[in-house]
Structure 1
């Protein structure tokens, strides 16, 4: 991974979000968990499907990459729920990452060409462990990558540093874009009444693999924390809401993303949004060039043809808000409704967002040296996001030329990230488990740090200890802060409490005591971060549902 990769990944999200503002996963046959012994964890491990050979490092780390957790979703399996992995003979190589799932090639320049090779046969996961033997029962952390549900890979980050904190780390691939989130009447019939959430079904299948196999690597299948950022954090809220994922995880960490906006429904439109099937048929007609497209025709199309068409159609590429379907199985109802009624998984949650998320979406990034009318941009985004908003919104986010850029950034940040994460925290009042809320206010010293601040996804390298991703000389300041981040995140995975001796005594958040941990140059506690802004945006979102 090149040092410029991190800003490249962020740039993809810039393009997507800026332009946006203009069947069951149960295995068909029961997986057979490997027998857990007290044998040393070695380079060769028996897992569902056969033996894999990973890599042993001198520092005690074992690394296993590109492990298949489901059959290749190709031919007749395209758009079906994940199928059980087929067994293999001998030892399967697990020394390199599996190929990323198909994603927009038109944006590959932002990825420095790292995703030149992609595949439909992409349902793999990666695992890092420092357990000395299979009976170690270390806490397990499972990472789901972000990327608007249309891009990204489980191989984006090196898991070695985080495992030094005493956890087993797993990162996963899942189907993306039109391969992972397509509803269609024939799919609904074929899948027994549900379709459209194939990517989430993949995530659930990966968690089933973890349940059945992680003990062989010294992990505790009874202590699994799922975590993700941006669309990965959207996924966290979906998995917490989904009855199909129940019991596969025991804690949740969500970083800058929650799925509480109105979603597409499978069988009927809601709030002016087409149903999932209507949207899927629209996609299918674009892929085939015909008004109506049957499933056999769609499955006969080359994967590259589908992705090239998807990438070249702005309406398809940028409407990722529709890539979560109320299908009656993965999601029996809107995520918002499930949480408001207390039907989500009752597990401890740690969530938060960054202070300057939307600097990543500054129009100036795509127009270097140009002139940006921030007054118009701010007004346009307010009207698009909260069409029922009155003049009160401009009291908190003024549109005068001297502060319009700041208002644009703050409103984008609060509407897309601060408010959804606060709502998630408030919804945890409906269950008994605690929730811990953070506000990430650290400024990476990259070029233009004064302009970008605590931008979207900036915290990920600190959580993973992957600071070399930044194209800067890493000093003690960032290294020390990253160590604190890893300690808090892994403490939560170990104990359900992110408090860390010498760093922070972090109390749970409640609506009555909205204590937020501010994670910045000065780590501490604060009450009611941007409370007035969150309340106003919440009122606007609720009005849209009536």
Structure 2
């Protein structure tokens, strides 16, 4: 489908629909097709609650591909369902594979416009759909027996299958299958770290970008997930161990989604990639510390006030009092409640804004700093023993003038606030209606930084021979690497704000990371 300076191909299946007997099984190869496939029709979102529920279907394992219209493509066989395309010689544009967020229970690859990225890089963009909620992360003893110990890994296995599709087919879209960057936001970012930890994903990508989702995210162990799964099966009326899988696979998908449930932001998620499976044998933070991400440069960061998006879960629509703030802290963080209340004292800042700061620092900012520590350290590569230097580049995004989430919090960017600045139409330089000139410039700079990093592993380094108004032509401020130490005087991240692209120091101090670790 031609869209200005880019071509887009929507709804390309990388795996078979996980329906019937394939529900809660590893992704199976997609059926091939003959003739010309309609690439203008977007695929179905995966089953979920919320705005995308009406068009959802279990037949949802697809990728969307957007490429510059003038990109040279490899000759040979056309893109193949499930893999097996032309392969290519290693020449071509960098490939960025987007993994959407949504708390592991919502979202779709259709949610973003990848055209500005593709045209501005230039680069090939691939958006991945994957199974969500209980359909993507259910664990049961019977499923572990059936799969040989890989229950709860269906969503992550979907993404790995999509990366294999990319490796097989990148050249058919003008991409270099040997220069692939994965990037995701929120739950998508946590999945990126899962891929850095997953043995079966090794070698399928060369760079990683993590936006607002650290490696330290609280993922369930297999024992915890099996307990959650048994409670879920009981809610579905499937209590006979001998027939539990047949019973669950016979349940309507609407019932599966409605009975799934989810936790709040300060509580461990009900549905998330399960640790202890064959696909994800270790906690990502432990695997990274042991060298699973050695040799993979990482760009990561947060939004200045991530937590504002989540305070509506607490006393929505009403004033949140100082007494209620203290009650939430004591209930959710009992082991350090007194220290938290002392670090975020009452005063001129409303209680809801204090809660937003706690969520920002505890859930996002400080774990992300710890992730940057890990990625910046030299590590031995698994299998070779060779020690390679680590490299991490940290950012902090903010748009101070953005309107508040509620009347009780201040203005400024919150969780997912950076996405419109990255995913905008190639036909416009505006990240949103009424964007200022400095906001448009910020958007252009971010696309350049991201595509430079995807191409070279360094956001400061333009790709060789970049042409056509892409990331090689704009002069950008230098982005310092994460220093690998908590020193408040050493630049540790790039501030991404309208009119401000500036290296700053003191990230850990600003977010009370002495309290959160």
Common fold: TM-score over 0.5: yes
For the Cα contact (< 8 Å) 2:215–2:371, is it kept in 1?
no
Q: Does 1:155 align with 2:110?
A: yes
1:185-207 Cα deviation digits (max 9, x unpaired): 11111111221011011011100
Give me the TM-score of the superposition, normalised by structure 1.
0.79
Aligned to 1:239: 195
Q: Does 1:343 align with 2:292?
A: yes
- Tell me whether 255-264 or 215-224 shows the greater mean CA deviation: 255-264
Cα shift at 1:448: 6.8
The separation in 2 between residues aligned to 1:364 and 1:336, in whole angstroms, is 28
Q: Choose from 471, 476, 486 the match for 2:447.
A: 486
- Tell me whether 225-234 or 530-539 shows the greater mean CA deviation: 530-539
1:307-363 Cα deviation digits (max 9, x unpaired): 12225x879xx8635522113312111122222333335300000001111111233
Q: 1:249 and 1:387, CA in 2 relative to 1: closer, same or farther beyond 3 A? A: same
What is the aligned residue count? Answer: 465
Q: 1:514 and 1:159, CA in 2 relative to 1: closer, same or farther beyond 3 A? A: same
Q: Choose from 190, 204, 207 the match for 1:251.
A: 207
The separation in 2 between residues aligned to 1:171 and 1:402, in whole angstroms, is 40
- Tell me whether 509-518 or 217-226 shows the greater mean CA deviation: 509-518
The separation in 1 between residues aligned to 2:393 and 2:299, in whole angstroms, is 5
Q: Does 1:531 align with 2:509?
A: yes
For the Cα contact (< 8 Å) 1:241–1:345, is it kept in 2?
no
For the Cα contact (< 8 Å) 1:239–1:245, is it kept in 2?
yes
1:82-127 Cα deviation digits (max 9, x unpaired): 00111122222111210000001xxx3xx3xx54111001000100
For the Cα contact (< 8 Å) 2:424–2:431, is it kept in 1?
no
Q: Choose from 434, 438, 457 the match for 2:391.
A: 434
- Tell me whether 385-394 or 425-434 shows the greater mean CA deviation: 385-394
Aligned to 1:3: none
For the Cα contact (< 8 Å) 2:275–2:283, is it kept in 1?
yes
Aligned to 1:29: none
Aligned to 1:127: 65
Q: Kindly report which structure 2 residues correspond to 1:351-362, keeping only aligned pairs within 5 A, or say none.
A: 351-362=300-311
Q: 1:468 and 1:119, CA in 2 relative to 1: closer, same or farther beyond 3 A? A: farther
Q: Does 1:79 align with 2:79?
A: no
Cα shift at 1:302: 1.3
The separation in 2 between residues aligned to 1:264 and 1:212, in whole angstroms, is 32
Unpaired runs of 5+ residues, structure 2, are: 75-90, 380-388, 462-473
The separation in 2 between residues aligned to 1:458 and 1:421, in whole angstroms, is 17
- Tell me whether 147-156 or 295-304 shows the greater mean CA deviation: 295-304
Q: Kindly report which structure 2 residues correspond to 1:448-463, keeping only aligned pairs within 5 A, or say none.
A: 451-463=410-422
SS at match of 2:63: strand
SS at match of 2:260: helix
Q: Choose from 159, 163, 167 the match for 1:211.
A: 167
Cα shift at 1:244: 1.3
For the Cα contact (< 8 Å) 1:353–1:421, is it kept in 2?
yes
Q: 1:496 and 1:502, CA in 2 relative to 1: closer, same or farther beyond 3 A? A: same
Aligned to 2:250: 300
1:358-411 Cα deviation digits (max 9, x unpaired): 11123399744x3222x2343244334533215333332114585533321111
SS at match of 1:65: strand
Cα shift at 1:162: 1.1
Aligned to 1:520: 497
SS at match of 1:326: coil
Aligned to 1:56: 2
For the Cα contact (< 8 Å) 1:224–1:250, is it kept in 2?
yes
Give me the TM-score of the superposition, normalised by structure 2.
0.84
SS at match of 2:110: coil
Cα shift at 1:255: 0.5
For the Cα contact (< 8 Å) 2:430–2:443, is it kept in 1?
no
Aligned to 1:283: 232
Q: Kindly report which structure 2 residues correspond to 1:5-24, keeping only aligned pairs within 5 A, or say none.
A: none
- Tell me whether 459-468 or 187-196 shows the greater mean CA deviation: 459-468
- Tell me whether 78-87 or 402-411 shows the greater mean CA deviation: 402-411
Q: 1:378 and 1:365, CA in 2 relative to 1: closer, same or farther beyond 3 A? A: closer
Q: Kindly report which structure 2 residues correspond to 1:72-221, keeping only aligned pairs within 5 A, or say none.
A: 72-104=17-49, 108=50, 111=51, 114-130=52-68, 131-135=70-74, 137-165=92-120, 166-221=122-177
Which is helix-richer, 1 or 2? 1
Q: 1:185 and 1:470, CA in 2 relative to 1: closer, same or farther beyond 3 A? A: same
The separation in 2 between residues aligned to 1:231 and 1:308, in whole angstroms, is 20
Unpaired runs of 5+ residues, structure 1, are: 1-54, 269-274, 540-546
